[in-house]
Each structure stands twice: as C-alpha cells, then as structure tokens.
Amino acid sequence: MDKKKLIAAAVVAIAVVVGGVLWWQHRQQAPSTTLVLHGNVDIRQVSLAFDGNGRVAELRAQEGDRVRAGAVLAVLDTRTLTLQADQAKAQADAQQQNLLRLRNGARPEEVTQAKARLAAVQADAARAEQDLARLQGIATDTQGRGVSAQDLDRAKSAAQVGRAKVDEARDALRLTEQGARKEDVAGAEAQLKASQAQLALLQHQIELGQLKAPADAVVRSRLLEPGDMATPQRPVYALALTGPKWVRVYVGEPDLGRVKPGMAARVSTDGAPGQPLQGQVGYISPVAEFTPKSVQTEELRTSLVYEVRVLVNDTGDALRMGQPATVQLNTGHAP
C-alpha cells in the first residue's frame, strides 16, 4: 500500500514538473504585448504677479480654492490712477470741442459781424478820401493859400489809414468765411489723439490692477496679503492648472521602438487600482538621459532611458501632482 502511494506521488510530481515546463515554454513562445511603466503625475504651474506696481487692496482666493479662467483673484489700489484718468478724460473732451470748432468754421453771426466791420471801415475810408479831395480842391483853387500844408498831409495820412483798414477788414472777412486752416485742424486732431492715448493708457493700467486667473486652476499658495506692495517680480498666487495632466515615465532603449505618439494608455494609481484612466502617449523625448533616481527599474542605474509623457483624460480630477502612477501600453507586439 505504501508503494502505491509513493508511485502516485511520483506521478503527480512528474505531472507538475511537466506542466510547469510546458507553461514556461508557452510563455516564452507568446511573450506579453503589454508594456508596464511607472512614473509620477505632473501638472503645469503658473506664478501670477501684477504687471505694475501698487499696494494690494484685496485678495479673493485662498489656498485650495478652485478658480475659473478670468476670475479676479486680487485687486490693487488704483485710486490715484482713477483720478488721473478723470483728468485725462476732461482734457480729451476739451480737445474734442476745439476740433469741432475748427471743423465747423465760423458761425453765421460771426460772418455778419465781419461784414459789418468791413462796411464801417469802408465808410471811414470813403469819408477820409472825400476830405482829402476837398482839401486838394481848395488848395488848387487858391494856389495853396487856402489850405495849410499840415492839414493836407493830415488828410492824406487819414486816407491811407482808411484804405489799410479796409484791406485788413476784407482779409478778416475772407478768413472768417474760409474757416480754419488745414494745418490748424491737423494740429487739433493730433492733440486730441494724444489726449485719448493718455486716457487709454491710464484705463489699461487700471484694468491691470485686477489679477485674473489665466485658466481653470487650483490655488496652491497665496504669497502676498492685503497691504503688501506688489511688483512684477513678486508673485501673488501660485496656481496648479487643472489641465492638461500627464504621467512622466521613462522607457529603456530596448522598449523605445514599441512606444509611438498617440498610442492608447491605461493609467492607474495605488489609491484606485481597479479604476484606470484613459490616456495616450503625447511626447517622446528625442534625447537619452541617465535614469533619474526617482525611477525604480531592474536595470543598472547608469542605463540610458527616454522620457515619455502620457496625457491623461482626468475628467474627475482624481490625479494629484507628484502622485505615483502605473502606465500600461498595449504595444501590439512583444519585444
């Protein structure tokens, strides 16, 4: 009976050995087509700072807050700029009215007034001419004895002055009817544009007093407080963008030919091993580098690897920056 048990045990042992050998041969004949890589989640970060200098008046976000693109996160004290903008607007309005006055030309009442001045000086000039003619006639009839030379010279001067005033009034009427010169209008237009540009600059500076989120993100850190002086060199917030997210992994040279851009990938984490996320290979480094210390592989530490970024479709926002992750790539063929 003992001999039979020994024979049976030997047969079972032989079967196990034969089965193991067959399984190993089958494994060698049909190697796996799945490439498993290990890495960490990476997310882009943004350091937000004001474009100008000023004192922080208000901060509207705390660490951990989720913010939407365009949301106002911080505000500077812009009261001085607002007063300057009001002054610039008043100057621009004054320049606008001056330009309209030059373009519209003289009013009908001003033209009528200029004509009346011309008629008045013409009447004075005609009276001076008449006085001169009368004195000259008397001097001719009396052979110079009835009129003194002084009176005659005074009459001649009055007549010349009258003619000059007529010419002056006539030119003034013509200028009034013609309106402003093109050069004057162009100068007024330039002054108006300068005032408008100054106003636009001040309004732009006021708008820059609001610090807005450039994209959907999570506030990682709040670096200033109300009352602090802000400069372009001092960030106010550090943001972690909610997308895109990727897993940074490293592939050895023997497996590099199996990885292609756009290849589908499955990404899983230790916290949710049964809930993999879908992704795809987005970037393969063209340059080899020594294995980073954070990468744990069975090869030698000095072996060369290539960085690969696997973009992840994380609609549920489950991944966190630096989180370890496992990437599975179905390469379609074994190494």
Could you give all domains of the chain from N- to C-terminal order, each with its CATH number?
31-44+241-330 (2.40.30.170), 47-77+209-237 (2.40.50.100), 84-204 (no CATH)
Backbone φ and ψ of 66, nearest 5°:
-95, 130
Indicate the pTM of the whole model: 0.61
> Which amino acid appears at position 333 of this protein?
H
pLDDT, position 332 = 66
Query: If you search the block for the tokens 């901060």, which residue do you land on?
Result: 59
Task: Count other Cβ atoms within 10 Å, centred on residue 265.
Answer: 24
Nearest-10 Cα torsion for 9, 11, 15, 16: 20
| Encoded tokens for 80 | 């001085």
Centroid of chain to Cα 140? 90
Strands 324-330 and 54-59 turn out to be unpaired
Secondary structure in 3-state letters for the chain: CHHHHHHHHHHHHHHHHHHHHHHHHHHHHCCCCEEEEEEEEEEEEEEECCCCCEEEEEECCCCCCEECCCCEEEEECCHHHHHHHHHHHHHHHHHHHHHHHHHHCCCHHHHHHHHHHHHHHHHHHHHHHHHHHHHHHHHHHCCCCCCCHHHHHHHHHHHHHHHHHHHHHHHHHHHHHHCCCHHHHHHHHHHHHHHHHHHHHHHHHHHCCEEECCCCEEEEEECCCCCCEECCCCCCEEEEEEEEEEEEEEEEHHHHCCCCCCCEEEEECCCCCCCCEEEEEEEECCCCEECCCCCCCCCCCCCEEEEEEEEECCCCCCCCCCCEEEEEEECCCCC
62-78 CB burial, b ≥16 within 10 A, e <16 = eeeeebeeeeebbbbbb
The set of residues, in sequence order, having a beta carbon less than 8 Å from that of 251 and lying 6+ positions away, is 35, 37, 259, 284, 305, 306, 308
Round to whole Å and give the CA distance between 187 and 326: 71
The set of residues, in sequence order, having a beta carbon less than 8 Å from that of 301 and lying 6+ positions away, is 290, 291
Round to whole Å and give the CA distance between 227 and 266: 48
pLDDT, position 252 = 86
Round to whole Å and give the CA distance between 64 and 237: 11
pLDDT, position 309 = 94
Q: Distances in Å between the alpha carbon of 18 and those of 26, 29, 286?
A: 12, 16, 46
Residues constituting the chain = 335
Specify whether the CB–CB gap between 235 and 47 falls below 8 A: yes
pLDDT, position 116 = 83
Gyration radius of the chain over CA positions: 48
Q: What is the pLDDT along the chain (335 residues), one digit of tens a residue?
A: 455 665 656 655 665 555 555 545 544 444 567 889 999 999 999 999 999 899 999 999 999 999 999 999 999 999 999 999 999 999 999 999 888 877 776 677 776 787 788 788 888 888 888 877 887 777 776 766 667 778 777 878 888 888 888 888 887 767 666 666 778 878 888 999 999 999 999 999 999 999 999 999 999 999 999 999 999 999 999 999 988 899 999 998 888 888 999 999 999 998 887 888 999 999 899 888 877 666 555 454 447 889 999 999 988 888 888 889 999 998 765 55
Burial class (CB in 10 A: 0-12, 13-18, 19+), 129: middle
pLDDT, position 253 = 83
Query: If you search the block for the tokens 């007063």, which residue do you land on?
Result: 83
| Encoded tokens for 200 | 């636009």
